[in-house]
A and B are shown apart, each in its own frame.
Chain A
């Protein structure tokens, strides 16, 4: 790669990382709609935008830098409380994330389309003009806080704002003093912080200027507690922390600021309750504060912004107009300028301006980079060091063998033993090295889950469905390559779940279900495999409809249809040319069906399975190997040819006499411990001349619930192989997943067990 290309790749990798963090935080913010946004979260998003600005300016990416700057400005106003986070602001922020992603895609391709540039300009001006709410504060609550002016002088504007908010809400404030050893104060502070986080907000961490002993350093933490004094004290037992309450003078003579700490159990609905005319007009702030101290009661606009958003994923819900009526006079002028219902801001945009996004919409990552935990690299370095030791031993042995010529000081036997020991060591270390490299390729599957979650939000919105998207097992690790290849198939299945699975809120309610449909995405490690489940609690798949459709399209015959179990009928949806969608909707359409999903999963040596119950929901299970890079394989011989079978799908090996093979309904089967196992003769499958054997070896292969016996002539042993994909003409050969080099420099084909299983199960018997 040339210098410029390298710089570009570096920029894209870092930009992707920042956007991933940004997206993750925005998602949390989105899920918390209707509650007071977590100030730390907003601050984190601000910092991400800030970093993106710096990064793109450094690399001369002006479009991104400009938009990042505008987003940062907006976020700065948000975190300083100059603007309240309402639906409109949040939607615009999420939209910016989309545009950033599209920009990064173009950048990585060294393109710059006018459409996208236009969108950047348009979005930028919207960001700049988003409702500026000036909270007219009559007095600064900070004046009431008994805190040394010298301490206040070192607060940033943001910290000062957080402190002010805490005072305003009547939160009990403390100065927490803790001294540490200079060498490891950061771990001590981190420990203290993790204790404090659940109990309230650490507003600022100040290194004390007072000398803390010869090698010590003391810190003052300014802390807003949301738990009672006694609890805080109890939780700090055993830490070096000392607690000093900070006094707050009453706001106005006579009116007492609630001194009691805020109850965290306060219900959301109460907290965000908007002001009502019933409140005493003379002292609205105090009245509201007493009832709901957690809400930022001071600015009327602050509460109106949050109030309507209690369950605001659904853009066109009927309550919205009412909410608008509720909004009191303090509302920003922008909102009244908009025609139509206010909450549909995002979906009401002209379609043209959304164009560039839809084309590029994918949850795929732009970068080929894998972040590796330093401890994994350290382990690899150690192994390499040990390998060098072995090499030194071998060298020493070679030297002593040379010098021995003539004299017999070391017997051949001893020498052989020593060599054998070193070889064993070498083998062990090489195994460790291989294992280490495999681990370095592993990334948490959550990377792609998070990206999917962002798309889900938009799809649900566009489809007018109310969806709760639940993610689990994001920390399960898979090879980077597999994780990347998974994103498109998962996206497709999730789109289906939202588009076809989830019913509209009204239909759900009529069926006695909750209005919001639940779509969940979970990963779980099972031995050498990872199972990913996409499930919904929607309408389920109508297997009768599936059967009729398959019959109509000529995919199966009447006779076959009669014989099929429910499970087999459901699995028809994976056949090419099958689609239950009445019309090609924008959501699931795109001319790609589940057959493509199945192929993609098959290419990853995985298998896909569907379960569904009418009225209850649908679940897809994707069973995938943990890694593709190096696998252990069984080497088998058929008609003088050699094949490799991935060992992770081999369950057992049987030795079978020809007389034990039965034929049932023109299919060859074996009886294995009381169950019937379909048999496939590999020679026949691949059209090789069949040998007459008095004994067959049957490799019992299985993935998920499927089982198949594969008959071969001979077994040649096990070996680690690196599977390489086949190019050109061989790519489409069914039953072959790739090629691998064996130790003796022979190249063999690797069986695609998933495809063979399907072939074995398939109804159309090639050899009737």
Chain B
């Protein structure tokens, strides 16, 4: 707008129904300058958000009450508008089957809860090609 140059912000979609976890991920993402986190607790909400923004990265939980994370991954990866967006799955220890399915469906990376904010930050920086 007003002639002043503004760098485009990276937008990250976070889909996670556990409030604690969602806030932790959002806080970690936003601690990186130039990143904006859009977080939701519901897979349905995520389906609505997808066409409204251009996301640079999606981080999703697997076990959620409405649609599961795998279904979301499948939806994203099958849709030509979103399929190039990198996607991380967040899972819990002991749910390797779900994690493997996520990776098979096209997720780029996985995180096992509880994970350290540092490791998440590292992954985010790598995929967004930030220093």
On A, residues with C-beta under 8 Å from B are 14, 47, 50-51, 54-55, 57-59, 73, 76, 153-159, 182-183, 185-186, 189, 204-207, 209, 211, 217
Contacts and interface: CB of A to CB of B under 8 A. Distances in A.
B44 A153 contact: no
B71 A207 contact: yes
A154 B105 contact: yes
Contact of B18 (A50, A155, A182): A50
6 contacts: A51-B20, A54-B19, A55-B19, A59-B20, A154-B105, A183-B48
Query: What are the 4 closest A-B residue pairs judged by CB atoms, nearest first?
Result: A209-B78, A58-B20, A54-B20, A54-B18
A182 B51 contact: yes
A14 B105 CA distance: 35
A185 B75 CA distance: 15
A193 to B, nearest CB: 9
Nearest to B68: A156
B68 A189 contact: no
Interface stretch (B6-14, B28-36, B58-66, B118-126): B58-66
A185 B92 CA distance: 29
Given A204-B71, A209-B75, A58 B105 contact: no
Contact of A55 (B20, B63, B68, B101): B20
B53 interface: no
Contacts of B62: 156
Contacts of A154: 68, 70-71, 73-74, 101, 105
A206 B78 CA distance: 13
Contacts of A206: 67, 71, 74
B40 to A, nearest CB: 12
A50 B44 contact: no
A56 to B, nearest CB: 8
A156 B63 contact: yes
A157 B98 contact: yes
Interface residues of B, number: 36
A440 B122 CA distance: 45
Interface string B82-93: 000000000010
Nearest to B73: A154
Given A47-B63, A182-B48, A189-B44, 8 more contacts: A51-B18, A54-B21, A73-B94, A154-B74, A154-B105, A156-B101, A186-B66, A207-B67
A47 B66 CA distance: 13
Tell me whether chain A's interface is mostly helix, strand or loop, or mixed. helix
B97 A54 contact: no
Nearest to A76: B94
A186 B44 contact: yes
Contacts of B114: 57
Contact of B79 (A73, A186, A204, A209): A209
A76 B95 CA distance: 10
B65 A47 contact: yes
Contact of B74 (A47, A50, A76, A209): A209
Nearest to A11: B20
A292 to B, nearest CB: 30
Contact of A156 (B47, B66, B98): B98
Nearest to A65: B114
A153 B24 contact: no
Contacts of B51: 182
A159 B75 contact: no
Given A50-B18, A51-B18, A55-B19, A155 B70 contact: yes
Nearest to B81: A211
Contact of A50 (B48, B63, B98): B63
B16 to A, nearest CB: 9
B104 interface: yes
A291 B32 CA distance: 61
A58 B51 CA distance: 32
A667 to B, nearest CB: 63
A181 to B, nearest CB: 11
A207 B47 contact: yes
B39 interface: no
Nearest to B16: A54
A209 B18 CA distance: 26
B72 interface: yes
A186 B66 CA distance: 9
Contact of A51 (B19, B45, B72): B19
Contacts of A189: 44, 66
Given A206-B67, A209-B75, A157 B20 contact: no
Contacts of A217: 47
Nearest to B95: A157
A185 B94 contact: no
Nearest to A184: B48
Contact of B63 (A58, A59, A158, A182): A158
A205 B66 CA distance: 7
B54 interface: no
A204 B68 contact: yes
A94 to B, nearest CB: 24
A18 to B, nearest CB: 10
Contacts of B95: 157
A47 B19 CA distance: 12
A159 B18 contact: no
Contact of A159 (B44, B66, B68, B72): B68
Given A153-B101, A154-B101, A185 B71 contact: no
Contacts of B19: 14, 51, 54-55
Given A57-B114, A182-B48, A156 B18 contact: no
A76 B78 CA distance: 30
Most buried by B among A14, A73, A185, A217: A217
B64 to A, nearest CB: 9
A598 B48 CA distance: 55
Nearest to A158: B63
A156 B68 CA distance: 7
Nearest to A69: B93
A217 B69 CA distance: 17
Nearest to B23: A58
Contacts of B101: 153-156
B92 A153 contact: no
Nearest to B48: A182
A155 B48 CA distance: 21
B20 A57 contact: yes
Contact of B47 (A47, A51, A157, A185): A185
Of B20, B45, B70, which is in contact with the most chain A CB atoms at under 10 Å from its CB?
Answer: B20
Contacts of B72: 207
A217 B50 CA distance: 12
Contacts of A183: 48
A58 B24 contact: yes
Interface in B96-131: 97-98, 101, 104-105, 113-114
B91 to A, nearest CB: 10
Contacts of B79: 209, 211
Given A154-B68, A154-B71, A54 B63 contact: no
Nearest to A208: B75
A205 B67 contact: yes
B104 A153 contact: yes
B45 to A, nearest CB: 8
A376 to B, nearest CB: 22
